[in-house]
A and B are shown apart, each in its own frame.
Chain A
């Protein structure tokens, strides 16, 4: 990853033009050619340095449900519970954390009502209580990674 790749990542985490030639416009700002920008994006996607190139949706405004959930999983049960939880397509991501509440995952569902039923299904599948901690108030969201 060179200086140009880093400039692309920093710039295009903020926004992307919605015009007929968006790559050309973005490339111009970065001081490179349109085809070079497209080529570099392809390479970074192939190398899995980027997760996606496209829209980041606001789940609730799409009419969907979103929540952060946690389970207190004993260490010797972690592998099994992880497999069972990740088998649900509604689990968007899942992290182990160094706490008694050891498993933290985000549920994204097509409707808000579906959150509760997925939680019940996960509790039945794993045998553990799922602690549901939906967001009540948002103070800041500016997730951006400078490289």
Chain B
């Protein structure tokens, strides 16, 4: 999808949040000189094209009790990354799963997944179960729990 000027103005206008009023798209339109229908049509198109992944609540997971946040990194042979990535991604407790470049020699890991939980012990159990039940014992992995979070905000668009 090729974005035009109007799309970018709309994207900037709503990035911090939708108005909490009965007709939010009408209010956005009023600010941008558009009709409610135009706003609905453009936002729908942006969502259809995947520029907007979704509309709705973005939580602060720490505040909701998800304080045990593990990044599990795996050193997977290149020809097995797709298979292992699909397996890990299919676990209900895995919230994100990406292949990333190794940084040899210091960093041999090429597959990253996130597991968020309310208790560290439970997260460790989940990981152990995944390793046991999917035959991943031969694949070296490391678990990096997060300590303090220093910054959380969405990206800003002008």
Contacts and interface: CB of A to CB of B under 8 A. Distances in A.
Contacts of A54: 14-18, 55, 58
Given A14-B54, A53-B17, A139 B97 contact: yes
A interface: dominant SS: mixed
Given A21-B23, A138-B97, A145-B116, A59 B155 contact: yes
Nearest to B24: A22
A19 interface: yes
A75 B101 CA distance: 25
B95 A143 contact: yes
Interface string A78-113: 000010001001011111111101001100101000
A120 to B, nearest CB: 17
Given A133-B100, A144-B95, A42 B20 contact: yes
Nearest to B60: A51
Given A57-B53, A96-B146, A51 B95 contact: no
Contacts of B116: 145
B155 A66 contact: yes
A93 B54 contact: no
B58 A50 contact: yes
Interface string B84-98: 011011100011111
B33 interface: no
Given A19-B40, A141-B96, A49 B60 contact: yes
B26 to A, nearest CB: 7
B103 interface: yes
Nearest to A141: B96
B25 A18 contact: yes
B105 interface: no
A20 B21 CA distance: 11
A110 B156 CA distance: 8
A137 B15 contact: no
B95 to A, nearest CB: 5
Interface stretch (B61-69, B122-130, B133-141): B61-69
Interface of B: 1, 3, 11, 14-18, 20-26, 36, 40, 43-44, 46-47, 49-61, 63-66, 69, 71, 81-82, 85-86, 88-90, 94-101, 103, 106-107, 112, 114, 116, 142, 144-158
22 contacts: A9-B64, A13-B58, A13-B59, A23-B24, A42-B20, A52-B16, A53-B18, A55-B52, A55-B53, A55-B54, A57-B155, A57-B157, A59-B155, A62-B11, A62-B157, A66-B155, A98-B144, A108-B155, A131-B107, A136-B101, A143-B96, A144-B95
